[in-house]
Amino acid sequence: MINKYNARLLLIPKLAQVLRLFGNSWSRLGDKWGREVILAQANEIISTSDFDNVKKSEPALDIIFLTMIGGHGYNTSVDIALGLALKARGHQVRFVICDQQLSACEVKKANNRKNWESLCSKCWSYGKAVYARFGLSVIKVSELIAGRSPLSEPGRWKEIVEASLLKHFGKGVLDDSPEVQSRRVEYQKSVETSHLIGEALVELNPDRVLMSHGIYSTWGPQRELLNQANVPLVTFSKCKKKHTEKFNWTTSADWWDVSNEWERVKEIPLSEEQNHQLDKYLDSRRDHSSDTLKYNFGKPESRTQTFQRLGLNDGMPTFVAYTNVLWDAASAQREIVFSDPISWIIETIQWFADHQDRQLVVKVHPAEVVIGTNQPFASIIEERIAQLPKNVRIIQPQEKVNSWSIMEIADLGLVHTSTIGMEMPLENIPCAVVSRTHYRGRGFTFDVDTKAKYFDLIENWDRNRFDEAQSKKYARRYAYLLFERYQLPWPFFHEPKHTDVRAMNFSTVEELANHPVMDLICGSVETKQDFLLPASPEEARRFWQ
């Protein structure tokens, strides 16, 4: 199989170069022939680029990208775009790529064990080929860790191993089957390899390290070791809005970190133009027309229609709990009140079974059918609750029920880490948060930290406890910061499907590096500033051109 793929790496670029002569665009060629077309496009970009037409930055920095998975089309493309721009600005740029050294990683899927070796070879083949075509320097993992002593504390990265297993199996809670035990051993070997990579990077002591996500066995140990050594590092990942990217200093990319700027702007009222811009995007959230993925199904309904659809009593206090995808990094290992998200929902249902004077709606996250899961929340509830109480209604992830219609029947929302927890206060609906999430403690949610406080809040809920004006004020200011300034435009790829990059949307390196967004990102990398658009919509507008 790998010989066949290596042949593809040779033939597709040659075919694309010929077809390019007949006036075909790179995006059209990529749509037809796949991401390998980028190898041919790379030759054209580099051969026609003039690095002297890019402003140089002083001092020149030693920058290392912890790419690891060279065959991940999207993340590798982000690395290449950033690396080209930083190189053009005069910095030394190198990329650490795994040359088949990780015993388990995101490439090696749970249900495809027999093909792991060929998938690993294919990943490495594409990675080394595409970086070479763009003229970028690669450090092989095998070379980086050669001669290093094995990890002396095998259990040091236990939490990272378990988080990796959750993603690997697509579950939120694992059994102790032989398969899980076997994969745990393989992920333990991977974190030990990543630990050695982290040690080597600390010794190299680069001026900056950039990496995708910074989580799981592939990047987690390195991120923590680099942070401990005070090596400045940046993590990045795709955002909610279409064609946007976000960047963090030090934190993993699953954490939406705007803490520094929030302290500066939380007491500053939004302008009329800022309010208008925020309202426009919030309206689009109802059908996700401006977002990368669509999670909201069904048309809006009135409160009466919604109560009727759900078979609930519109005269009874109604509480709505919103679940997360159990394996997702934005959800896993964030517990404060309950041991895990499953316990939270099960114990909440059991509490409502004993309190028939109020009703509960559990809305299972639609992402279960959009991005997938091997542990559907509704199935877990069915297994653990023999008979669902009459005052409890489960909304399945595939049901065409509009999220905003459900939101509007809630007297109080209940969330683990879901974004809905910050959206409800925007609609003047109070929300209680039971776990660690980026918007906790921002002044617009009820942040509970014990079971006693959680159930007391539900039992004695009084709308008068909710300061609607103050909550909405802070929720809107936070939402503007998060949605309009933190998510940076990323127009540099042709991406016909989510994360499926088929071509680059720039013709030369100077076009890429001189783009206002790339200039902002590179400048922030160089000066250690936050990665944010200007607060003024008028000033921010030029970054979207």
Please give the DSSP secondary-structure letter assigned to residue 480: I
**What is the DSSP pairing of strand 233-238 with strand 318-322?**
unpaired
| Spatial contact of 256 and 246, defined as CB atoms under 8 Å apart | yes
pLDDT at 2: 58
| Spatial contact of 253 and 212, defined as CB atoms under 8 Å apart | yes
**Strands laid side by side in the 431-433 sheet:** 392-395, 359-363, 318-322, 412-415, 431-433, 446-447
Closest by alpha carbon to 424, among 441, 410, 442? 410
Exposure string of 464-496, with b = 16+ CB inside 10 Å and e = fewer, is eebeeeebbbbbbbbbbbbbbbbbbbbebbbbe
In sequence order, the β-bridge partners of residue 392 are 360
Contacts of 86 (CB under 8 A, 6+ apart): 61, 63, 93, 522, 525
Burial of 357 (0-12, 13-18, 19+ CB in 10 A): exposed
Please give the DSSP secondary-structure letter assigned to residue 389: -
Q: What residues does each domain of the chain span?
A: 2-258+490-544, 270-486
d(CA 423, CA 272): 20
| Spatial contact of 95 and 125, defined as CB atoms under 8 Å apart | no
Mean pLDDT of 459-483: 95
pLDDT of residue 249 exceeding 70: yes
Contacts of 268 (CB under 8 A, 6+ apart): 477
d(CA 6, CA 1): 9
pLDDT digits (tens, 9 = 90+) for 324-348: 887 777 777 789 999 989 999 999 9
Q: Considering the domain delimited by 270-486, tell me its CATH architecture.
A: 3-Layer(aba) Sandwich (3.40)
pLDDT digits (tens, 9 = 90+) for 3-22: 889 999 999 999 999 999 99
* Residue 321 vs residues 338, 341, 391, 516, 535: alpha-carbon distances, Å: 14, 11, 13, 41, 33
In the chain the first and final C-alpha atoms are separated, in Å, by 43
pLDDT digits (tens, 9 = 90+) for 258-267: 999 999 999 9
Please give the DSSP secondary-structure letter assigned to residue 486: I
Q: Model pTM?
A: 0.94
The pair of three-digit structure tokens given for residue 359, joined into one six-digit string: 């009703």
| Residues in the chain, total | 545
Helices 73-88 and 516-527 cross at an angle (nearest 10°) of 80
Q: Is 82 helix (H, G, I), strand (E, B) or coil?
A: helix
d(CA 88, CA 54): 6
pLDDT of residue 46 exceeding 90: yes
pLDDT digits (tens, 9 = 90+) for 472-510: 999 999 999 999 999 999 999 999 999 999 999 999 999
